[in-house]
Amino acid sequence: MSDAIVIENLEKHFGDVKAVDGLDLKVPEGQLFGLLGPNGSGKTTTIKILCGVLKPTSGRAFVGGYEVGRSDGRVKELIGVCPQEDAIYSTLTGRENVELFGKLHSMPSDELRRKADLYLEKMGLADDSRRKAGKYSGGMKKRISIIMAIIHDPDIAFLDEPTAAMDPQSKNVVWDFIRELKAKGKTVVLTTHHMEEAEELCDVVGIIDHGRLIAMGTPKELREAFHEKDLEGVFIQLTGRRIREGA
Amino acid sequence: MNVNRLSALVKVNLKRIVREPASLFMVILFPVMLTLFFGMAYGGVGGGGQATYQVGVVNLASSPQGPWTQAFLGNLTSTRILDAHFYESNATAQADLRQGKLSAVLVIPESFERGASSYNLNPGDPSSWRTSTVQLYLDSGSMFALQAVGPVVQQALASSVYVSAVQPAALPVQLGSASLVTVAKFSTFDYMVPGLFAFSAIFLTMMVAQSFTLDREKGLLRRMSTTPVKASEFMASHAISNMLLALIQVGLVFVLASAVGYHAQGGLASLAFAFLLVGVFAASCVGFGLITATVAKSSGAATGIAFAFIMPQMFLGTFVSTGVSGAMATVGRFVPSYYVTDALTSLFLRGAPPTGASALTDLGIVSAISAAILIAGVLLYQKFGNS
């Protein structure tokens, strides 16, 4: 199995701050990889670099075999991105938001309509799909945002805190949806602050702090290696109890 | 450039404007209301299609009912441009002029009858004429009165004193009979409408600036950059959608202005030229909007900063610019809206052909300026604004 994502000695500096500091990582194709870390640890910055939104200060990253920064056009055809913020058009309906992103990926109209119907139904948004997205609840916005990210059936999906501030019902729907992506053989990079989510969904978890990968393995491997009963214990043991702030 | 992606983005941009009440007001309802209100106030609605000026007349002639005086007053009132009000004293008339009740005061001197008759008795002998001066006081605050009243009074005076029966003096150079030219009677509104076209489109600057800053705040621009959409497609979609909006504005302003008494000279070709010109002008508004979005840190700030571009265009390049000082008129040559208004004034007011040198020059200047501003806006935004 080849690697969907390869990161080599990646660095990103914002002035004096090293958001990503010599990160090396490989994510094989079809893996559901959880990127965990405290606030400001460099998770989102890493994802932004992989999506071509930010340029790295140094190092290299490959997505689907294409080097980010050199073959961004090819990379963007392979990926789907659900950002942390509710980046949706509030004056468009949920369906229009989804269809726009399908069209941006040059999906044929029939296929786009069929998939939009399917995903809206699965995410529990079919009845509200013709309402303006600005009127949606936080959980609905997040769910529509996930559909926008994967409507074009990308090989690699980046989901940045997809269940943040969701109620348990919405969270379960999203988890099922993510499991389906994995079942289809898609590579998923998931960032989350919910350790139970990482344990439940991820094949492999990487814990990042101060821009560096400090631990990586399956949830079970990590629990055993650090003699903790759950991933949260591992996370606290590795990153400390001090409250962090920042993006 | 992918046409399907471009088309999808243009449709979304238009939908967003139509569905956002504040945007819809600025782009569609504002020009509609502006045209209707100006049309009703200054145009032909309610029968007030032609401007009239209130003129106070102080008749101090030795024979107030004398034939020359009566002929002059008859000619003066027959124009229907001047509405004469008679005063016993100059002081009372001057007081009303200062209070804005009158646009002008005309004082017929005591010697008026003698002066007029002395000329008509011996038109070829200037030494026998008795000089008489009619005083005209004008309201300096009314730019329209300043321009219109003097020539009308002069015309009435000339046709009263130099009656057609007079035998012209035998001179080696003679003035031929004047050719009578039918001049369209324009209302104040007719002078305003060419500026209204540019006036409406100017506010697209604010719409573009708000749209880009808001999308940046919400992370939509960043999200868009993770899709295969190229920056050129994204920028082009905004330019196209705003140009389409400008065309809608031109159509609305033209139809509504015509409905409330606007008398456009020129035919369909002139109207087509207006669409083209304002469409091109809209590209400059997109450019100014992008420059604003580059500088503004939030959508709220963008609204304020956009006025730095809107105000000069409005005051130096549309109907608002009528009567600006010489220095500011020179500065006005640097704003694109000036050339839009200038070209449309030539077409719609003077009936100049759209293929004429003047209109084509204006189109060339607007195109060059708009292209430069749009390119500058795109480059600045991509370098400094998209973070």
pLDDT tens digits along B121-151: 887 788 888 888 888 888 877 666 776 787 7
User: Chain A contacts of B218, Cβ < 8 Å?
Assistant: 85-88, 90
User: Chain A contacts of B5, Cβ < 8 Å?
Assistant: 103-104, 106
B149 & B73 share domain: yes
Distance from CA of B20 to the nearest CA of A (A): 7
pLDDT tens digits along B325-338: 778 878 888 889 99
Structure tokens at A162: 């997809």
Locate the domains of chain A by residue range: 3-239
CA–CA distance, B357 with B368 (Å, rounded to integer): 16
Which residues numbered 96-125 in A keep a CB inside 8 Å of some CB on B? 96, 100-101, 103-106
Residues of chain B with a CB closer than 8 angstroms to some CB in chain A: 2, 4-5, 8-9, 12, 15-16, 19-20, 218-220, 222-229
pLDDT tens digits along B16-32: 988 988 888 888 888 88
Note the pLDDT of residue B243. Answer: 87
B7 & B67 share domain: no
- Radius of gyration for the alpha carbons in chain A, expressed in angstroms and rounded: 18
Provide the 3-class DSSP secondary structure of residue A149. helix
Phi, psi of A81 (to 5 degrees): -125, 125
CB A106 within 8 A of CB A145: no
B266 & B233 share domain: yes
B86 & B120 share domain: yes
The residue segments making up the domain with residue B218 are: 3-45+187-385
Residue of chain A with shortest Cα separation from B18: A91
What share of chain B in percent tops pLDDT 90? 26
Got the DSSP string for B319-386?
A: GGGTT--HHHHHHHTTSHHHHHHHHHHHHHTS---TTSHHHHHHHHHHHHHHHHHHHHHHHHIIIII-
Whether B149 maps to a domain, the answer reads yes
Q: State which of B109, B127, B161 marks the end of a domain.
A: B161
CA–CA distance, A69 with A84 (Å, rounded to integer): 22
CA–CA distance, A220 with A231 (Å, rounded to integer): 8
CATH code of the domain containing B59: 3.40.1710.10
B208 & B344 share domain: yes
Domains held by chain B: number? 2
B351 & B210 share domain: yes
pLDDT tens digits along A191-229: 998 999 999 999 999 999 999 999 999 999 999 999 999
B203 & B348 share domain: yes
pLDDT tens digits along A95-149: 999 999 999 999 999 999 999 999 999 999 999 999 999 999 999 999 999 999 9
Helix (H) or strand (E) run with residue B107 in it: strand B104-108
The mean per-residue pLDDT over the stretch B207-215 comes to 89
B63 & B41 share domain: no
**Does B223 score more than 50 pLDDT?**
yes
Count contacts between A and B (CB, < 8 Å).
Answer: 67
Whether B180 maps to a domain, the answer reads no
The mean per-residue pLDDT over the stretch B24-44 comes to 83
pLDDT tens digits along B91-100: 999 888 888 8
Q: Is A198 on the interface with B (CB under 8 A)?
A: no
User: Chain A contacts of B8, Cβ < 8 Å?
Assistant: 100, 103-104
pTM above 0.80, yes or no: no
Q: Which of A76, A84, A85 sits opposite B226 (nearest CB)?
A: A76
Note the pLDDT of residue A166. Answer: 87
CB contact (8 A) between residue A88 and residue B222: no
CB contact (8 A) between residue B226 and residue A104: no
B207 & B310 share domain: yes
The mean per-residue pLDDT over the stretch B78-103 comes to 85
pLDDT tens digits along B264-286: 887 889 999 999 999 999 999 99
Asked if this assembly's ipTM is beyond 0.95, the reply is: no
Per CATH, the homologous superfamily of domain A3-239 is: P-loop containing nucleotide triphosphate hydrolases (3.40.50.300)
Q: Which of A155-169, A183-197, B148-162, B233-247 has the lowest mean pLDDT?
A: B148-162
- B/e letters for A219-244, b = 16+ CB within 10 Å, e = fewer, are beebbeebebeebeebbeebbeeeee
Distance from CA of B340 to the nearest CA of A (A): 33
Structure tokens at A1: 């199995």
B130 & B219 share domain: no
Whether B105 maps to a domain, the answer reads yes
Q: State which of B161, B196, B231 marks the end of a domain.
A: B161
Note the pLDDT of residue A215. Answer: 92
Note the pLDDT of residue B387. Answer: 65
B25 & B139 share domain: no
CA–CA distance, B262 with B36 (Å, rounded to integer): 11
CA–CA distance, A191 with A87 (Å, rounded to integer): 17
B124 & B267 share domain: no
**3-state class percentages of chain A: helix first, strand second, coil last, to nearest 5:** 40, 25, 35
Give, rounded to a whole angstrom, the gap between the first and last alpha carbons of chain A: 34
Structure tokens at B231: 């920056």
Phi, psi of A74 (to 5 degrees): -70, -40
pLDDT, mean over chain B: 83
Whether B182 maps to a domain, the answer reads no
pLDDT tier at B169, thresholds 50, 70, 90:
very low
Beta strands in chain A (DSSP E): 3-14, 17-28, 32-36, 58-63, 66-67, 79-82, 156-160, 187-191, 204-209, 212-217
Structure tokens at B255: 């139809």
